[in-house]
Structure 1
Amino acid sequence: MEPVQHDAGIVATGLARAFGAVQAVKQIDFAARPGEVTALIGPNGSGKTTLLLMLASLLKPDAGTVHVGGVNLGDDPRAARPLIGWMPDTLGVWETLTAREILISIGRLYGMDKATSAARADDLLQLVKLADLAAQPSRVLSRGQQQRLSLARALMNDPSILLLDEPASGLDPGARIDLRNLLRKFAGEGRTVVVSSHVLSELDEIADAAVFVAAGRTVRNQTVKEADAQKRRYSVRGLDHEALLDGLTAQGVPYTVPAGQRRAEALVDVATEAQAADVLRLLVEHGVSITAFAPTVGALEETYMSSVYDHESGGSATNPEETEK
């Protein structure tokens, strides 16, 4: 990835943060560009939320620098806060206030007059499809509804930089699609959007780039285009298991068979999509009846398993029960 300029989006270098004896973040470099959705990916305990809190100016790093919209947070965090929209993984506060009152209060804290704050709140409640629940106290909202309210709260100051921690948590399938469309819309408007999530299939659909972290360190930076072009494992299914395996063998295609698999399935590793297309063509030409042919996991999950999982486990992500042919 090309370096991101300090006056654009987010640039964090050499970040470290400890809580007593626990070193939550050891050495993280992070960059996110305006006009893009950047995914922050890592296992539980990898330092993602601590990193987001530092990017949001809510937690001071022990070491390293953070520039947000050209502002050095170490010099003047208050100057950056009007630029930032922060969505934590839980709503967290003001359970007795209604959804509309929460948003109006946030607007007032940002210096809006009452009328402007109320109008902005109403617009955002419409945007996140909570207008019918505007007068309900937040404590009666479902987990998914609270997540949508939390997103609206993060948007009250019309930020140019959005930091979202597990925004899809608790959302039903329809709301997930709405969220995906909104985040792509925000990026299209030139905002810098950072999303931390364990739902990698969702990130495949919305992200332009990804930063992978593990054990408090940056493991890899990757664009989604690069992820799509990497070596992938494909699942091949056919009507007849023996015919499928005979076809792969005859065409010289190495494969593995998942242990205990009852379906006519084999796994093949391909370097490119063009090679995947060649494998499928060869099997069809050999007379194998193929019923399914697709990557076993998404592009970002492939990177996660090969980079982050191996980094954490110190081993291979390959299933040892697979039989290689």
Structure 2
Amino acid sequence: MTNEHGGIVVEGVARSFGSVQAVRDIDFEAPPGEVTALIGPNGSGKTTLLLMLASLLAPDSGTVRVAGFDPVTQPAEVRTRVGWMPDTLGVWDSLTVLEVLKTVGALYGMKAAECALRADELLVAVNLTEFGQQPARVLSRGQQQRLSLARALIHDPEVLLLDEPASGLDPGSRVELRSLLRTLAAEGKTVVVSSHVLSELDEIADRAVFVSRGESVKSQTLDEAGNQTRRYYVQAQPMAALAEALGRYGVRFEVRGDSRREEFLVQLGSTAEASWLLRTLVMGDVVVTAFAPAGGALEETYMSLDTDRR
């Protein structure tokens, strides 16, 4: 029986390895046409959850639906629809980059001609065309990551599971990855990204699910994340004038920085409040030289959850 809504729906999932409870109770939803970020520290259960979504691990309890199918009872249906990019890529050292992609395509039942055409397209998409005839062993860590992404996309899956996809990528490749994932989501694919690079996820994701100690602790859209209480760094010339103005407007601040530069950290309830403060400072003849969030929207949520746990 399929779920007409597609995407991914996880309810009350748990999974143990002997006495270690890797996943205790996770609820997770990733709709089609969006990028969903899976955020949490090492050991929080992110990779275990992704393995269950990819039908490579069975949950001890709870329900999982991927593109409407159960990975436990319908693994073949799930695997044909899922592209899986693990956090570490094993390569067939003796095969060329093109042969790696063609081999993976064949494993998915693709015809040789279709597979060759698709492989060429993907090498362009991940900027590896010049390495097509090179053995996979010559690739750098970042190039291996790009090959791993191409492998995950070879059969044009409707669901994409990416575990730390930006690991090892240079800044230019990260920008290309971000653009590619946004394009895939716009095509209607379900994209799940697990990453530690929260600033990157602000630019990629539409929503986020936060996990800690094997449990899902919060879910929010990027719009919700952007409109929460956030910390801002403010600098002015001179800083004394800024301190006087903030005191006059009743805005509390902490002094931060080092011997090279001093800055004030203020906590503001919304983007509207931040806009009001900046406008008010400038109209009050305070020479503002810097005014920016102290971290990304998702990082702000992550830090507040971390504080709550303590």
Separation in 2, partners of 1:201, 1:51: 22
User: What residue in structure 2 maps to residue 212 of structure 1?
Assistant: 210
Counterpart of 2:270 (choices 269, 272, 278) is 272
> Are the equivalent residues in 2 in contact too, given 1:240–1:264 (CA < 8 A)?
no
C-alpha distance 261-8 of structure 1, shift in aligned 2 (>3 A): farther
Say if 2:163 is the partner of 1:148: no
Instruction: Using structure 2 for the length normalisation, give the TM-score.
Output: 0.96
> Are the equivalent residues in 1 in contact too, given 2:255–2:262 (CA < 8 A)?
no
> Are the equivalent residues in 2 in contact too, given 1:244–1:264 (CA < 8 A)?
no
Distance apart, 1:123 and its partner CA: 1.4
Say if 2:307 is the partner of 1:310: yes
User: What residue in structure 2 maps to residue 8 of structure 1?
Assistant: 6
Distance apart, 1:260 and its partner CA: 5.0
Separation in 1, partners of 2:68, 2:133: 39
Which residue type is aligned with residue 310 of structure 1? T
Distance apart, 1:273 and its partner CA: 1.0
Identity %: 60
Structure 2 counterparts to residues 18-167 of structure 1, below 5 A: 18-167=16-165
Distance apart, 1:295 and its partner CA: 0.6
User: What residue in structure 1 maps to residue 255 of structure 2?
Assistant: 257
Separation in 1, partners of 2:279, 2:5: 49
Distance apart, 1:259 and its partner CA: 6.7
Separation in 1, partners of 2:213, 2:81: 29
Separation in 2, partners of 1:96, 1:13: 42
Counterpart of 1:228 (choices 226, 229, 232) is 226
> Are the equivalent residues in 2 in contact too, given 1:251–1:282 (CA < 8 A)?
no
- Deviating above 6 A after TM superposition, structure 1's stretches of 4 or more consecutive aligned residues are none
Query: C-alpha offsets along residues 186-207 of structure 1, whole Å, 9 cap, x if unaligned?
Result: 0000000000011111100010
Instruction: Using structure 1 for the length normalisation, give the TM-score.
Output: 0.92
Query: C-alpha offsets along residues 21-51 of structure 1, whole Å, 9 cap, x if unaligned?
Result: 1111111111100000000000011010111
Structure 2 unaligned runs (5+)?
Answer: none
> Are the equivalent residues in 1 in contact too, given 2:230–2:300 (CA < 8 A)?
yes
> Are the equivalent residues in 1 in contact too, given 2:81–2:157 (CA < 8 A)?
yes
> Are the equivalent residues in 2 in contact too, given 1:65–1:73 (CA < 8 A)?
no
> Are the equivalent residues in 1 in contact too, given 2:162–2:193 (CA < 8 A)?
yes
Query: C-alpha offsets along residues 63-88 of structure 1, whole Å, 9 cap, x if unaligned?
Result: 11110111122321111110000001
CA RMSD of aligned residues (A): 1.4
Which residue type is aligned with residue 214 of structure 2? G
Counterpart of 1:248 (choices 246, 268, 274) is 246
2:52 is paired with a residue whose SS is helix
1:247 is paired with a residue whose SS is helix
Aligned residues: 308
Structure 1 unaligned runs (5+)?
Answer: 316-325
Counterpart of 2:280 (choices 259, 282, 294) is 282
